[in-house]
Structure 1
Amino acid sequence: MSPIADRYRKHADAFEAKVAGTPPDAWERPSPCEGWTARDVVRHIVDMHAVMVRPLGQQLSPAPSVDEDPLSAFKSARGDVERLLNDDEVAATEITSPAGSMTVENHVDRVVSDDMVLHGWDLARATNQDDTMDQDDVDRIWAGTSALPPQLLDQMRTPGAFGPGVVVFGPEVKVPGDAPLQARLLGMIGRDPHWTPPS
């Protein structure tokens, strides 16, 4: 198993556990992503899995919708992406993405794999689960994100810059410099680390 496939599987396992841990009456609760419910967070992750297979001329396998069964929808979508990563030839295929040319496995790693870490926090916060991110992931994502040129960060905060309806990061939330790194990372990507569901 490649390091990328291994990292994807770890992130998918963690996200799946949060989906499975969501109480049936919690799916319509608001999330830290403005305008999104807990169900919408899972919908976004499933949709991003569809984006991973699309450059290969593929679609996600038939499965229950996120409205019908969020857990089954996610399990099916991750299975499709894992099949790509488990095929060495497919994983090494060069595709064109909004961020430029890259291999299928790098596309998965740079987009949906880390997306599950960040949106896992959203889902956990919305549904009162443990929202602690893996420290290695926090360190790695912080290092990569904080090193981005300011103009690229501005572009990532611009709705639609990477496609219709796509918002990569929200406006930065100011967090004290001595706050834990997870809180600073969340602030950088546009989350209030102290957000709680409205009562």
Structure 2
Amino acid sequence: MGEIAGRYRRRADAFDRKVAAVRPGQWDDPSPCEQWTARDVVRHIIDMHGVVLRPLDRALSAAPSVDEDPLAAFRAARADVEAILDDPSLAGLTCETPTGPMTIEEHIDQVPSADLPLHGWDLARATGQDDTMDPDDVAYHWAAITALPAGLLEKYRTPGAFGPGVEVFGPEVRVEDDASPQDRLLGLIGRDPRWSA
């Protein structure tokens, strides 16, 4: 298994556990993502899985909707992405993305895979679960985001820059000087580590 595929599976496993632990009455609870419920967080993750299939002229397989069964919907979308990662002839194809050309597996790594730990925090915080992110993911995201050119980072913070209704990061939230690496990362992407429902 390649590094990107392995990273995706580890992150998807962690997100799967969080989705499975949501109690039925919690799906409409608010999340740290303004105007999103816990269910909407999962819906976004599934939508981003669909985005990386488009360069291959594919769509997500038929599955229960997020409204019917969020866990089954996520697992179906995950299976679609893993099938691509398991096929070198597909994973290695080059596609155009809003940030430039890259392989399909790199696009997966930068979109749904990268989203999983961050939105896993959102889902955990919304539903009262352990919201501790894997330290490897915290370090990975911190290094990637702080290496972005200032102009590109501002583009990530600009609503609609990557398409109608798309907002990648919010305005930076200031955290204490001695904040944990996770809280510093959350503040950097526009999350308030102190948020509670």
The corresponding residue for 2:109 is 109
In 2, the alpha carbon distance for the partners of 1:176 and 1:143 equals: 19
The C-alpha deviation readout for 1:108-163, integer Å capped at 9, x for no partner, is: 00111010010000000000001000001101110111111121111111111011
Structure 2 gap ranges (5+) = none
The C-alpha deviation readout for 1:23-77, integer Å capped at 9, x for no partner, is: 0000000000000000000000000000010110000000010011100000000
The corresponding residue for 2:94 is 94
The corresponding residue for 2:141 is 141
The corresponding residue for 1:74 is 74
One-letter identity of the residue aligned with 2:167: V
The corresponding residue for 1:8 is 8
SS, match of residue 71 in structure 1: helix
Q: How many residues align?
A: 197
- Shifted more, 118-127 versus 159-168: the winner is 159-168
How far apart are residue 99 of structure 1 and its match?
1.0
One-letter identity of the residue aligned with 1:8: Y
Structure 1 gap ranges (5+) = none
In 2, the alpha carbon distance for the partners of 1:171 and 1:164 equals: 18
In 1, the alpha carbon distance for the partners of 2:83 and 2:55 equals: 15
The corresponding residue for 1:38 is 38
In 2, the alpha carbon distance for the partners of 1:130 and 1:196 equals: 13
Matches within 5 A, 1:97-176: 97-176=97-176
How far apart are residue 177 of structure 1 and its match?
2.5
In 1, the alpha carbon distance for the partners of 2:49 and 2:164 equals: 17
In 2, the alpha carbon distance for the partners of 1:150 and 1:176 equals: 22
Identity value in percent: 63
One-letter identity of the residue aligned with 1:55: P
In 2, the alpha carbon distance for the partners of 1:63 and 1:136 equals: 32
- Shifted more, 143-152 versus 1-10: the winner is 143-152
Write out the 4+ residue segments of structure 1 that deviate beyond 4 Å after TM superposition: none
One-letter identity of the residue aligned with 1:92: G
One-letter identity of the residue aligned with 2:110: R
The C-alpha deviation readout for 1:76-117, integer Å capped at 9, x for no partner, is: 000000000000110000011111100000000011101001
In 2, the alpha carbon distance for the partners of 1:23 and 1:192 equals: 24
SS, match of residue 96 in structure 2: strand
One-letter identity of the residue aligned with 1:30: P
One-letter identity of the residue aligned with 2:18: K
TM-score, normalization by structure 2: 0.99
